[in-house]
Amino acid sequence: MSAPKSPVAGFDLGRLLATPNALAHLTPQDILNGIQRHHAGDWGDVDEEDRQANERALIDGSRLFSVYHSAKGVKYWIITEAGSAVSTVLLPEDY
């Protein structure tokens, strides 16, 4: 029996980037966990308006936005730009 597969939201992450500040405050595991959740359509701690915007973005290709917290409680975002050319891991103050 094989392990169940995680659902994939159906979009391309594009080129993966992280800001220097995110790299300084997040572990590689934090970043990997966030990217996996983001790509699976688990938007983390976004509000309902952003959650609905993300669901529309899966259809129309606009920007996707997720909010997560590291193992040490550091809040970080992952944004996949419209057209899925680039996904960036950043801290809110980097925006």
d(Cα 5, Cα 3) in Å, to the nearest integer?
6
Average pLDDT over all residues of the chain: 92
5 has pLDDT over 80? no
- Asked whether residue 93 carries a pLDDT value surpassing 70, the answer given is yes
What is residue 6's predicted lDDT score, i.e. its pLDDT? 44
Q: In the numeric block, which tokens belong to residue 75? A: 């809040």
Tokens of 21: 């500040």
Reported as a single tens digit per residue, the pLDDT across 45-78 is 999 999 999 999 999 999 999 999 999 999 999 9
Q: 0.85 exceeded by the pTM?
A: yes
- Give the number of other Cβ atoms within 10 Å of residue 1's Cβ: 3
